[in-house]
């Protein structure tokens, strides 16, 4: 980020005009989603909004009620879990630019996105908001999303810094981790987001990290963010994540936001003013925060700073609005088109025995679609990521449109989803109070009449499945499971879906299974039986269209899993080594750590996701990076050349099929003989290429040698990989197509 001397001078001049009370206004919330401004000097408040899948609906400034007008319908983009499955950085960029443009169109200055926490635990309720288990893939996608957002005179706010990897006890769990794993797995994407993506803002986390709450941590926000990374953007607290005036005041935090309407009582409001007056906090600390806030306002062109020299030679400063600031817009057709483009590549073909798919419209007269998720809209759920989508094409609607009037599309619900209580007030009002259910009690027991209904639905679907040649079961999760504030208790499919799917497969072994979920589910009961399985996360307003186009063969699937689908929670590294959901802390620890109840040590270290399954040879349902196409690709002719600074890899990829298709070539690197503490191989580059039938393309990778390194705690720095190193060109982490060993 360019920090011009001229700009800094202007910021200092405006800062000099401000009283302590006015400075305080700029650094805490004055509304739930807006910081305070200083009218006297023309400084506005920063208007923020969630979240990763679109611009959230509007709330009253001081009550957790949605305004409920029709003005806040927006485009609904694929969730980050879906977007990551595209492995397409251009699509990540356009998704970001849609988000930024719509945010601006809705009058926002900052969009609270993207969420980039590492998917360490498949049970984490917010995994759908995050990108991947792999730091390289997260970084590559996040940088583009951020740059796309910020093209629109609006700030991204990458979140939640850091180790916010579970929702259970998210306010009170302390994370402990060894330095190497922290540096190699959890920090890189945040570092890329601020250094390469140049995110103007970053959000702290609720959880504690090594004894300090993320949103006021000196280790994270001062030492790493400010000192190591030289970050001059704005560090925002998560909503209600602060616990102490001195910590919030002296750490690298700039803006305290909250969920209570007593804005004057926020730590950085009156308590901060008092602390400065009493000499407990140096006003220079407050000035640092204000500078960062004003800098962000200049960067997103909320204001310009005018300087005027007085007769006495003194320079006075005030803020004025920038007349030609990008006004943005929302719900444009082009946005829906971009949402569709991303959605298409987010559909992952997990399995396709004996070419079960596609189901060609010309050869199909009747299709039976089974499952609640076929007919469910997901956009308005999940917690702060909820949005009011202008429209959402369900899979059922998508299929009906795709196949047209000559094909009968019959629908059967198949499984029973209990009705939810509709709350008038948003859940966020009470979100700080840890009232959420523990991972144990998520799915409510059905009452007798509901059980009867569930059986009727299943029987109806099974009876129909006997009559139809083409049966598509569409199930998975919904935002009662993939949601903020709660983790799942296990990876099992809810609502009796295992029973339903197996009963349908009993009578129709060719039935296609589609799983819609924001995090892995246990498919073992039918995984080997079903001939075709498709995977799709919450895939935006055009998700149903994209799914139907893949099923009909209109387009070839090209999504790849951005996270491993393990067999079950018990077989994950978190279960094998960790102490999830956290060990109750003792009295001495309680004294040391404010507002803390649990400690969780990330004992699996760097062995997160595929790094673990590969190292410990633990079988999974589907590996990281996996995703089939309707065509086959041939990889050949791999070359590896080392230069002083980098390793150059080339290889050829051929489309051996009869349709145009895309393939993501993944480049993994590891020691030829992996040493004890290291993963076998790690993703270091990838490239998605489009190939016409019979076409061959050369794929090139340049891997900087400095990215081939491990963090050595004893040495206090990165140690480059040397000796015999293997380069793997692969179609997934478990499907290596070419390998070359070189000495580095
Ligand atoms: C979430 C954030 C969100 C904020 C504002 C918090 O509960 O953790 O991700 O941006 O609320 O809604």
Question: Ligand 1 centroid to 415 CA: how many Å?
Answer: 32
Nearest CA to ligand 1 atom 7: 239
- Which residue among 79, 237, 256, 384 has the greatest number of ligand 1 atoms within 8 angstroms of its CB, and so is best to mutate? 384
- Residue 439 clears pLDDT 80, i.e. is over it: no
- Residue 440 clears pLDDT 70, i.e. is over it: no
- Residue 270 clears pLDDT 80, i.e. is over it: yes
Question: Ligand 1 centroid to 679 CA: how many Å?
Answer: 34
Contacts of 492 (CB under 8 A, 6+ apart): 498, 521, 522
- Residue 438 clears pLDDT 80, i.e. is over it: no
pLDDT band at 432 (very low <50, low <70, confident <90, very high): confident
- Residue 21 clears pLDDT 80, i.e. is over it: yes
- Ligand 1 atom at shortest distance from the alpha carbon of 56: 12
- Ligand 1 atom at shortest distance from the alpha carbon of 51: 10
Question: Ligand 1 centroid to 375 CA: how many Å?
Answer: 28
Question: Ligand 1 centroid to 564 CA: how many Å?
Answer: 26
Tokens found for residue 695: 């076409």
- Which residue among 239, 257, 258, 429 has the greatest number of ligand 1 atoms within 8 angstroms of its CB, and so is best to mutate? 239
- Residue 435 clears pLDDT 90, i.e. is over it: no
Q: Mean of the per-residue pLDDT values for the chain? A: 96
pLDDT digits (tens, 9 = 90+) for 642-689: 999 999 999 999 999 999 999 999 999 999 999 999 999 999 999 999
- Residue 2 clears pLDDT 70, i.e. is over it: no
Nearest CA to ligand 1 atom 12: 384
Question: Ligand 1 centroid to 239 CA: how many Å?
Answer: 6
Question: How confident is the model at residue 443, as a pLDDT?
Answer: 76
Is any ligand 1 atom within 6 A of the Cβ of residue 431?
Answer: yes
pLDDT digits (tens, 9 = 90+) for 572-596: 999 999 889 999 999 999 999 999 9
Question: How confident is the model at residue 541, as a pLDDT?
Answer: 98
| CA dist., res. 574 & res. 586, Å (int) | 22
Q: Which of 238, 254, 478, 482 is catalytic?
A: 238
Tokens found for residue 292: 């960062």
Nearest CA to ligand 1 atom 11: 239
CATH fold match for the domains 337-568 and 631-743 = no
Nearest CA to ligand 1 atom 8: 238
Predicted TM-score (pTM) of this structure? 0.98
pLDDT band at 430 (very low <50, low <70, confident <90, very high): confident
Is any ligand 1 atom within 6 A of the Cβ of residue 185?
Answer: no
Contacts of 521 (CB under 8 A, 6+ apart): 476, 477, 491, 492, 493, 515, 565
CA distances (Å), origin 402, targets 81, 395, 546: 25, 10, 10
Q: In what order do the strands lie in the sheet with 696-704?
A: 633-642, 646-655, 696-704
pLDDT digits (tens, 9 = 90+) for 453-485: 999 999 999 999 999 999 999 999 999 999 999
Query: Is 238 an annotated catalytic residue?
Result: yes
| CA dist., res. 325 & res. 323, Å (int) | 6
Is any ligand 1 atom within 6 A of the Cβ of residue 238?
Answer: yes
Domain boundaries, the chain: 5-321, 337-568, 570-605, 631-743
The SS3 of residue 282 is coil
The least confident of 294-298, 354-358, 445-449 is 445-449
Among candidate residues 207, 726, 266, 95, the one with its CA nearest the CA of residue 487: 207
| Residue entry with tokens 């960029």 | 93
Question: How confident is the model at residue 423, as a pLDDT?
Answer: 80
Q: Which stretches of 492-625 are DSSP H helices?
A: 497-507, 524-527, 543-552, 573-577, 587-592, 610-615
Tally DSSP H helices, then E strands, for the chain: 19, 31
Question: Ligand 1 centroid to 668 CA: how many Å?
Answer: 35
| CA dist., res. 374 & res. 412, Å (int) | 9
Is any ligand 1 atom within 6 A of the Cβ of residue 239?
Answer: yes
| CA dist., res. 218 & res. 214, Å (int) | 9
Q: Looking at the structure, give the CATH architecture of the domain made up of residues 5-321.
A: Alpha-Beta Barrel (3.20)
What CATH topology corresponds to 337-568? Rossmann fold (3.40.50)
Nearest CA to ligand 1 atom 3: 384
Question: Ligand 1 centroid to 381 CA: how many Å?
Answer: 14
- Ligand 1 atom at shortest distance from the alpha carbon of 33: 5
pLDDT digits (tens, 9 = 90+) for 376-392: 999 999 999 999 999 99
Nearest CA to ligand 1 atom 6: 239
Residues of 448-485 as b/e, b for ≥16 C-beta within 10 angstroms? eeeeeebeebbeebbebbeebebbbbbbbbbbbbbbbb
Contacts of 607 (CB under 8 A, 6+ apart): 573, 577, 615, 616, 679
Is any ligand 1 atom within 6 A of the Cβ of residue 112?
Answer: yes
pLDDT digits (tens, 9 = 90+) for 280-325: 999 999 999 999 999 999 999 999 999 999 999 999 999 999 999 9
Share of the chain above pLDDT 70, in %: 99
The residue count of the chain comes to 744
In this predicted model, which residue has the larger pLDDT, 439 or 467?
467
- Residue 436 clears pLDDT 80, i.e. is over it: no
The SS3 of residue 103 is helix
pLDDT digits (tens, 9 = 90+) for 41-84: 999 999 999 989 999 999 999 999 999 999 999 999 999 999 99
Q: What is the mean pLDDT of residues 6-24?
A: 97
- Residue 10 clears pLDDT 70, i.e. is over it: yes
Is any ligand 1 atom within 6 A of the Cβ of residue 171?
Answer: no
C-beta of residue 20 within 8 angstroms of C-beta of residue 283: yes
Question: How confident is the model at residue 91, as a pLDDT?
Answer: 98
Question: Ligand 1 centroid to 430 CA: how many Å?
Answer: 13
pLDDT digits (tens, 9 = 90+) for 203-235: 999 999 999 999 999 999 999 999 999 999 999
Nearest 5°: phi and psi at 218?
A: -70, -35
Is any ligand 1 atom within 6 A of the Cβ of residue 50?
Answer: yes
Among candidate residues 189, 172, 212, 234, the one with its CA nearest the CA of residue 45: 234
pLDDT band at 427 (very low <50, low <70, confident <90, very high): confident
- Which residue among 163, 238, 255 has the greatest number of ligand 1 atoms within 8 angstroms of its CB, and so is best to mutate? 238
Torsion over CA: 723, 724, 726, 727 (sign): positive
Question: How confident is the model at residue 546, as a pLDDT?
Answer: 99
Contacts of 10 (CB under 8 A, 6+ apart): 298, 305, 307, 317
CATH homologous superfamily of domain 631-743?
A: Immunoglobulins (2.60.40.10)
The least confident of 197-201, 437-441, 531-535, 605-609 is 437-441
């Amino acid at each position: 980020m360019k920090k011009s001397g001229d700009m800094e001078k202007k910021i200092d001049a405006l800062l000099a005009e401000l009283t302590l009370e006015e400075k305080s206004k700029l650094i805490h919330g004055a509304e739930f989603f807006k910081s305070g401004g200083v009218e006297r000097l023309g400084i506005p408040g920063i208007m923020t909004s969630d979240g990763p899948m679109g611009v959230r609906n509007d709330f009253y400034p001081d009550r957790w009620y949605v305004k409920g007008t029709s003005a806040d319908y927006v485009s609904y983009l694929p969730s980050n879990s879906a977007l990551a499955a595209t492995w397409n950085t251009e699509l990540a960029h356009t998704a970001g630019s849609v988000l930024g443009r719509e945010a601006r169109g809705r009058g926002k200055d900052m969009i609270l996105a993207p969420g980039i926490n590492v998917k360490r635990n498949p049970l984490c309720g917010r995994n759908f908001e995050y990108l991947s288990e792999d730091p390289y893939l997260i970084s590559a996608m996040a940088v583009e999303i951020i740059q796309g957002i910020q093209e629109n005179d609006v700030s991204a706010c990458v979140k939640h810094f850091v180790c916010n990897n579970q929702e259970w006890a998210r306010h009170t769990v302390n994370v402990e981790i060894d330095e190497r794993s922290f540096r190699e797995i959890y920090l890189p994407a945040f570092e890329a987001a601020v250094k390469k993506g140049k995110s103007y803002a970053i959000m702290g986390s609720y959880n504690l990290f090594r004894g300090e709450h993320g949103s006021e941590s000196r280790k994270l926000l001062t030492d790493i963010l400010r000192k190591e990374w030289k970050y001059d953007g704005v560090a925002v607290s998560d909503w209600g994540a602060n616990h102490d005036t001195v910590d919030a005041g002296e750490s690298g935090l700039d803006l305290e936001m909250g969920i209570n309407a007593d804005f004057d009582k926020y730590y950085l409001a009156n308590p901060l003013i008092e602390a400065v007056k009493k000499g407990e906090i140096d006003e220079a600390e407050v000035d640092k925060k204000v500078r960062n806030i004003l800098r962000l306002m200049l960067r997103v062109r909320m204001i310009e700073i005018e300087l005027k020299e007085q007769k006495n030679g003194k320079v006075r400063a005030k803020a004025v609005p920038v007349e030609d600031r990008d006004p943005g817009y929302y719900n444009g057709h082009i946005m829906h088109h971009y949402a569709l483009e991303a959605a298409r590549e987010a559909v992952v073909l997990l399995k396709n025995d004996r070419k079960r798919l596609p189901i060609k419209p010309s050869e199909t007269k009747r299709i039976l679609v089974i499952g609640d998720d076929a007919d469910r809209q997901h956009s308005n759920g999940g917690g702060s990521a909820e949005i009011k989508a202008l429209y959402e094409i369900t899979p059922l609607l998508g299929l009906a449109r795709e196949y047209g009037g000559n094909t009968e599309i019959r629908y059967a619900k198949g499984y029973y989803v209990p009705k939810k209580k509709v709350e008038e007030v948003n859940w966020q009002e009470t979100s700080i109070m840890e009232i959420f259910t523990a991972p144990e009690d998520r799915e409510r027991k059905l009452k007798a009449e509901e059980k009867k209904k569930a059986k009727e639905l299943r029987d109806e679907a099974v009876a129909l499945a006997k009559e139809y040649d083409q049966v598509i079961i569409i199930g998975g999760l919904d935002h009662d499971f993939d949601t903020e504030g709660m983790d799942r208790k296990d990876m099992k499919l809810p609502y009796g879906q295992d029973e339903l799917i197996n009963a349908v497969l009993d009578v129709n072994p060719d039935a296609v299974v589609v799983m819609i979920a924001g995090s892995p589910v246990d498919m073992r009961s039918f995984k080997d039986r079903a001939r075709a399985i498709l995977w799709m996360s919450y895939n935006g307003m055009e998700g149903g269209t994209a799914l139907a186009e893949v099923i009909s063969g209109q387009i070839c699937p090209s999504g790849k899993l951005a996270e491993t689908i393990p067999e079950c929670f018990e077989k994950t590294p978190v279960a094998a080594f960790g102490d999830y959901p956290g060990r109750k802390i003792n009295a001495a620890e309680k004294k040391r750590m404010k507002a803390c109840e649990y400690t969780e040590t990330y004992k699996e270290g760097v062995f997160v996701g595929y790094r673990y399954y590969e190292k410990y040879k633990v079988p999974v349902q589907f590996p990281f990076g996996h995703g089939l196409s309707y065509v086959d690709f041939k990889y050949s002719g791999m070359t590896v050349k080392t230069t002083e600074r980098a390793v150059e890899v080339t290889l050829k990829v051929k489309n051996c099929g009869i349709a145009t298709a895309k393939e993501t070539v993944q480049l993994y690197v590891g020691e030829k003989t992996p040493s004890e503490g290291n993963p076998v191989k790690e993703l270091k580059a990838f490239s998605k290429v489009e190939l016409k039938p019979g076409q061959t393309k050369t794929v090139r990778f340049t891997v900087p040698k400095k990215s081939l390194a491990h963090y050595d705690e004893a040495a206090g720095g990165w140690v480059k990989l040397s000796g015999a190193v293997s380069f793997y060109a692969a179609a997934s982490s478990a499907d290596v197509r070419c390998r070359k060993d070189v000495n580095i």
